[in-house]
């Protein structure tokens, strides 16, 4: 189960389009989800720089795939 709205949205799209497990959409979604768990966890295991980097890569992957505007 995904932790963030972005990861949920990315994985749902990947599932609906039958994307393979190693597709960029899936890997970026899972990396962002893990970073979010670590960032919001107690104790915190992910710093802000890594969290934001994972978010940016996930968001870019989603926008590149769907054509949705990045901003």
- For the chain, what is the domain count? 1
How far apart are alpha carbons 50 and 69 in whole angstroms? 23
Q: Which secondary structure element, helix H or strand E, spans residue 28, and what is its range?
A: helix 24-40
Which pair of structure tokens corresponds to residue 62?
């989603």
- Mean confidence (pLDDT) of the chain: 95
Burial grade of 7 (CB within 10 A; 0-12, 13-18, 19 or more): buried
Residue 29 has pLDDT above 90, yes or no: yes
Structure confidence at residue 47 (pLDDT): 96
Residue 13 lies in a domain: yes
Residue 71 lies in a domain: no
Residue 1 has pLDDT above 80, yes or no: no
Structure confidence at residue 71 (pLDDT): 80
User: What is the domain extent for residue 40?
Assistant: 5-66
The shares of helix, strand and coil residues in the chain, as percent rounded to the nearest 5, are 70, 0, 30
Residue 54 has pLDDT above 80, yes or no: yes
Which pair of structure tokens corresponds to residue 32?
């962002």
Residue 24 lies in a domain: yes
Structure confidence at residue 70 (pLDDT): 84
């Amino acid at each position: 189960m995904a932790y963030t709205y972005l990861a949920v949205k990315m994985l749902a799209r990947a599932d609906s389009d039958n994307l393979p497990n190693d597709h960029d959409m899936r890997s970026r979604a899972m990396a962002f989800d893990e970073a979010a768990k670590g960032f919001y966890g107690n104790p915190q295991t992910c710093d802000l720089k890594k969290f934001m980097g994972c978010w940016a890569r996930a968001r870019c992957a989603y926008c590149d795939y769907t054509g949705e505007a990045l901003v």
